[in-house]
Amino acid sequence: MVQLFLRLPTADIHADDTVRALSRVMVSAQLDRDCANAQIVRDSEDPSVLIYIEDWPDKQRLDDRIRSDRFSALLGLMETCPTRPTLELRFMSEVKGLDYVASVRHVQ
């Protein structure tokens, strides 16, 4: 799994416009059958900051997204921020669940 994680500061007077523009970016990701998830949330510590997340199954699919013309809209939106946005590309090499927790807890 690979995740695009973006913290996007907004100016209060343009917040609604930014949400609408980010929603269009999100829909373009969701239309790609390889996108596992795309969502927008407000930062719980700073409501003027939007958090945008896309989850992709692998690096190749994320790279395809980044090279797409539709991704340019996200880059353009980042350029309009009143302060510098933070973009992280998170490469998760392994995901474990309750089986792992059980194995660790039962080691003596």
Domain ranges of the chain: 2-105
Q: What is the pLDDT of residues 11-46, one digit of tens each?
A: 877 788 899 999 999 999 999 999 999 999 999 999
Q: Which residues contact 56 (CB under 8 A, 6 or more apart)?
A: 1, 2, 3, 4, 34, 35, 36, 62, 65
Give me the CATH code for the 2-105 domain, please: 3.30.70.100
Per-residue confidence (pLDDT) for residue 40, from 0 to 100: 96
Q: What is the pLDDT of residues 52-72, one digit of tens each?
A: 999 999 999 999 999 998 899
Q: Which two tokens stand for residue 63?
A: 């790279």
